[in-house]
Amino acid sequence: MMKTQTIERAGLDRVCAFVNGKGGVLKTTLTANLGGLLAVSGWRVLLVDFDPQGNLGLDLGYRHVEGRDDEGRGMAQSLMFGEPLKPLKDVRKNLDVIPGGAHLDQAAAGLVSLAGKNARGAKLALAAALTPIADQYDIIFIDCPPGNEPLQLAALGAASRIIVPTKTDAGGREGLLGVAKRLDSVIDVNPGIDLLGVIIAATSSSAKSVQRVVRDAIIDAFGTDEVLFDNMVRHAESPAQAVRERGVLVHELEEQVNSGPKWFEVLRGTAKAGPSQPRSAGNVAEDLHRIAQELVVRLEAAEQRNAS
């Protein structure tokens, strides 16, 4: 197991972890799509798939591609033995990825062993791995596993900000409380960690009614509802299925929809019918664009507060 080096926190000031103790709250979807949108706008983005399921590779289209997907081997070796991280380059323009996958289960076991001897070192293992490459990027997003405590603690040990996606059901709200407890567990090694915000995901209700449902849970977990993002992600099953099957991001799917043949062109015989396209992709893409804009505003405001 690696020896933890001194961590230079200034180099990790734009590391954001998407975390919730509950699965199925769109952590991976938000990590991939918000990272993709920032990359399109010119940011240099690194996405860290810190989940043994490795589903970030499905959203970005490299899962099980030989020579591209190492199923978390590189990350595991970095956590356990201090090997340098080697990101998968140019998954999209301006977008690199550290793949996750099954090898992270072994890394989690190694972190448990290390924590018995050096709890601080276990919590800072990811921070130590990211420090040498962090200055190559404008922002780093970590997709955290829902229930793997050693990996979650290592992710929070590296992050300067956390973003908590949640649904409005009881499971999602319970996950908020779990995040608050995890934060208490890393304050000793990462006292500057801050909550950037809570994003309501996969909702089909109006904004006002949804916010009323979840506001009390946010206050219970974090003491204030000011952390709640103004924008939410609407539930849309068809585009969610399409992007995973095709390995594209939502804004890329929207471009496919808009560039495809129109129904009347097919009817007239002037165009051939293409694959069925989910028309609701535009709604979800709009939501994600707005959340990306709000994320940048919140991040810049937090940095200004810290600088003052």
Average pLDDT rounded to a whole number, residues 105-126: 94
Residue 76 lies in a domain: yes
Let me know if residue 66 belongs to a domain: yes
Does 267 score more than 70 pLDDT? Answer: no
Of 115, 33, 34, 4, give the one whose Cα is nearest residue 294: 34
Q: In the structure, what pLDDT confidence band is assigned to residue 264 with cuts at 50, 70 and 90?
A: very low
Is 33 contained in some domain?
A: yes
Q: Give residue 205's pLDDT.
A: 54
pLDDT (tens digit, 9 = 90+) per residue, 159-197? Answer: 999 999 988 777 777 777 788 888 999 999 999 999 999
Would the pLDDT of 219 be above 60? Answer: yes
pLDDT band of residue 273 (cuts 50, 70, 90) is: very low
Total domains in the fold of the chain? 1
For 227-254, how does the pLDDT look when each residue is reduced to its tens digit (9 = 90+)?
999 888 887 677 678 888 888 898 888 8
pLDDT at 144: 95
What lies within 8 Å, CB to CB, of 252 at 6+ separation is 36, 243
pLDDT computed for residue 225 by the predictor: 83
CATH number for the domain spanning 63: value is 3.40.50.300
In this prediction, residue 295 carries a pLDDT of 97
In a domain, 4, yes or no: no
- Domain of residue 95 covers 9-307
Phi, psi of 180 (to 5 degrees): -60, -40
Q: Is the residue at 24 inside a domain? A: yes
Under 8 Å between Cβ of 141 and 39: no
Query: pTM score, two decimals?
Result: 0.88
Question: Exposure string (b/e) for 83-120, b if CB count within 10 Å is 16 or more?
Answer: eebebbeebbebbbbbbbbebbebbbebbeebbeeeee
Burial class (CB in 10 A: 0-12, 13-18, 19+), 244: middle
58: in domain: yes
For 134-164, give the DSSP string.
GGG-SEEEEE--SS-HHHHHHHHHH-SEEEE
Q: Tell me whether residue 1 is in a domain.
A: no
